[in-house]
Amino acid sequence: MSLRFAIALFCSIAALCQGQSTNTRGIECPDFRYVEYSALDQTTEDAAMALGYSEGTWNTPGTQDVEQLSFSTIVAADAADEALLTIIGFTEVQYDCYVNHSDLIVAERILIKRLAHFDCSERI
The total number of structural domains in the chain stands at 1
120 occurs within a structural domain: no
Q: Is residue 60 part of a domain?
A: yes
Establish if 85 belongs to a structural domain: yes
Of residues 26 and 6, more confidently modeled? 26
pLDDT at 15: 45
Q: How far is CA 111 from CA 11, 54, 78, 115, in A?
A: 10, 22, 33, 6
pLDDT digits (tens, 9 = 90+) for 44-81: 999 999 999 999 888 888 788 888 888 989 999 999 99
Residues 109/75, Cβ–Cβ less than 8 Å: no
- Whether 74 maps to a domain, the answer reads yes
In a domain, 58, yes or no: yes
More confident of the two residues 120 and 89: 89
Domain assignment of residue 68, given as a range: 3-115
CA distances from 60 to 36, 53, 101, 123 (A): 9, 10, 16, 30
Q: What is the pLDDT of residues 88-116, one digit of tens each?
A: 999 998 888 878 765 444 555 555 565 55
Give the helix, strand, coil percentages of the chain, each rounded to 5.
60, 0, 35
Max CA-CA distance within the chain? 51
**Within a domain: residue 122?**
no
Q: For 86-96, give one letter per residue: b (16+ CB within 10 A) or e.
A: eebbbeeebbb
Would 124 be classed as within a structural domain?
no
Q: Quick one: CA dihedral 57, 63, 65, 70, positive or negative?
A: positive
